[in-house]
Amino acid sequence: MANFKTHLIVATTMSGMASISLLTLQLAKPWETGSYFLLGILGGLLPDIDSDKSTPLTMIFYFLSMYCAFAMIFNLAMQYSFAELLIIWAAIYFAIRHLVYRMFISMTIHRGTFHSLLAVAFMAMLAVSISFHLLHNTPRIAWNSGIFVGIGYLVHLTLDELYSVDLHNKRMKKSFGTALKLFSRENWGASTLMVIVLAVFIHFSPPIKSYWQIFNSALAKQDFQKKWLPTGNRWFADILDYSLESAKPIKALKKK
C-alpha cells in the first residue's frame, strides 16, 4: 500500500486540480475553493483512520477533540465561570482524544469497513450533512464539499490498489482487492451500521435537484474553449503586454 507521504502528495495534487477546474468554470467562488481544496486533501487521508498507528487518525482525533472542546465552552461562556469552563474543556478534550479514540481503535480493523466504496459514499454524505445542517451552508456548497471529500477518499483507495500490483515481479500482492471493495465482509456489523447511518444522511440531505440545476446551468453558460485555452491563442497576453509597455520608456531613453 502507498505510504502517508504518497497519499498526501497525490491528494494535494488532485484536490488542487479539481479546485482550479471548479474556479475556472465559475462553479465556485474564489473564497470557497480553499475550503474545497482542504476537504479534498482530508478525504485523501481519511481511509487510513482505521489504522492503529495511522498519522491521519492521530491528527483527526487531535483536531476533533480541540474543536469540540472549544465549541462547547464558547456556547457555555455566559453560563459558567472561567474555572468551570476550563474543567469542561479538559473533560471534553480528554473524552474524545483518549476514550473515544481507544474505542474507535478497538472497533475497527485496517483495510476493513473504511476501505470500501461504501465508506466513500458514507464520508461524502457525512461532509454534506455537516456542511448543510451544522455549518448552515447552501445546498451547492454542501454538495460540493461532499464531492471533494468523496473524490479524495476514492483517490486514496485507488492508489492503494495500484500499489498492490507488483509490476516488477508481475504479480498481485495479498493486499490487492482490499481497498476498492463494495463493503467489508469481515465486519458485517460495522458495514450494516454504516449503511443505516448513510441512509439517514441521504434522507436528511439538502435537495439534490436544485444543486444539479445550478450545476447544469453553470456548465451551460461556459465557453469551454475560452476557459481552457487562451483567447486568440495568445499565451500569457497580460504579462507580455505589460513587458512590452515597460520596455518602451527604456527604448526611448536609449534613443536620446
- Tell me which residue of 192, 195, 160 sits closest to 179, measured CA to CA: 160
Is the separation of the CB atoms in 92 and 69 below 8 Å?
A: yes
* Count of helix runs (H) and strand runs (E) in the chain: 11, 2
pLDDT beyond 60 at 244: no
Q: Who wins on pLDDT, 250 or 45?
A: 45
3-state secondary structure of 166: strand
Is the separation of the CB atoms in 212 and 219 below 8 Å?
A: no
Q: Who wins on pLDDT, 215 or 170?
A: 215
| pLDDT bucket at 89, cuts 50 / 70 / 90 | very high
**Average pLDDT, integer, range 10-29:** 86
pLDDT over 70 percentage in the chain: 73
**Average pLDDT, integer, range 218-237:** 64
- Tell me which residue of 140, 145, 121 sits closest to 34, measured CA to CA: 145
Task: Write down the mean pLDDT value for the chain.
Answer: 78
**Average pLDDT, integer, range 225-229:** 60
3-state secondary structure of 230: coil
pLDDT for res 137: 84
pLDDT for res 175: 52
Is the separation of the CB atoms in 187 and 112 below 8 Å?
A: yes
Q: Lowest-pLDDT range, 60-64, 132-136, 207-211, 244-248?
A: 244-248
Q: Counting beta carbons within 10 angstroms of the beta carbon of residue 152, is it exposed (0 to 12), middle (13 to 18) or buried (19 or more)?
A: buried
Amino acid at position 56, single letter: P
pLDDT for res 91: 94
Torsion over CA: 63, 68, 74, 77 (sign)? negative
- Tell me which residue of 157, 145, 146 sits closest to 114, measured CA to CA: 157
HSE toward the beta carbon, residue 128, CA cutoff 13 A: 24
Query: 216: Cβ–Cβ under 8 A, 6 or more apart, which residues?
Result: none
Q: How far apart are CA 227 and CA 232, in angstroms?
A: 12
Q: Which backbone phi and psi does 116 adopt, to 5 degrees?
A: -160, 160
pLDDT beyond 50 at 49: yes
104: cell is 474507535
149: cell is 471529500
Q: What is the pLDDT of residues 144-199, one digit of tens each?
A: 999 999 999 999 888 888 876 543 444 555 555 556 788 777 777 778 988 999 99
Strand boundaries in the chain, DSSP class E: 165-166, 171-172
**Average pLDDT, integer, range 234-243:** 61
pTM of the entire structure? 0.70
